Amino acid sequence: MRARVIAGGVVSSIAVLVVGWQLGGQPAVTAPAQQSTTSGSGTTGTSTGTSGSTGTGTGTTGGTTGSTGTGTTGGSSATGTFTGDTTQTRYGPVQVQITVAKGTITDVTALQLTNSDGRSVQISQQAAPILRQEALQAQSAQIQSVSGATFTSEGYTTSLQSAIDKAGL
C-alpha cells in the first residue's frame, strides 16, 4: 500500500478515534430503567445468599459495589443508594444498585441500561430472587380470592378462601 495512503489513513483514523473518545466516556445511565430485576450477587444480610448460583444465567454479574450514589457512608451506619461498576453482558451493560439502610442491604437492583429493545425484555423477564421481608397481613377487604397450593375440601374450611367466601367479598 502506498505511503501516502498509510500516512493519511493513520492520521485520519487517529482523529476519528480521538473524537470518539471525547464523545464517549459517559457513565452508564444512572436512573433505574422501567424494568428492573434484582440480582442475588452482592447481597448480604437477610437474603439467604443464593447469589445466582442456581444457574439462571441471567448474566448479571458481581459488579463490585462502588461508592457512587447518594447517602451517607461509613461502616455499619451506611444508608442510601449505591451504584456499582458497569458490567458487559450479552444483553448490554448492566449496573448493580444496592439500597442500604443502617449497614444492611435492603434491596438489590440490576439497572437495565438498554431498555428499548427486545434483549432487556428477555433478561428482565427472568425470575430473580427477592428479599423475603415483604409479608402482608391478609388485608381481606382488598382481595376476593387466594391462590395457594390446592386445598382439600377439608382444608378449605380452615382456609383463608373460606373466610373470604363467607364474608361475601
Q: Which residues have CB under 8 Å from 114's CB, separation 6+?
A: 91, 92, 93, 120
**Site track 100-129 with other proteins (rule: CB under 8 A), x = hit:** ------xx-x---xx-xxxx-xx-xxxxxx
Cβ count within 10 A of residue 87: 18
Among 35, 67, 77, 104, which residue interacts with other proteins (rule: CB under 8 A)? 35
Cβ proximity to other proteins, 72 vs 137, nearer residue: 137
Cβ pair 112, 35 in contact under 8 A: yes
Distances (CA, A) of 114 to 35, 63, 131, 133: 10, 17, 25, 30
Among 39, 40, 42, 78, which residue interacts with other proteins (rule: CB under 8 A)? 40
Query: What residues does 101 pair with on adjacent strands?
Result: 104
**Site track 43-82 with other proteins (rule: CB under 8 A), x = hit:** ----xx-x-x-xxxxxx-xxxx------------------
Cβ proximity to other proteins, 90 vs 102, nearer residue: 90
| By the rule CB under 8 A, 151 interacts with other proteins | yes
Cell of 90: 450479552
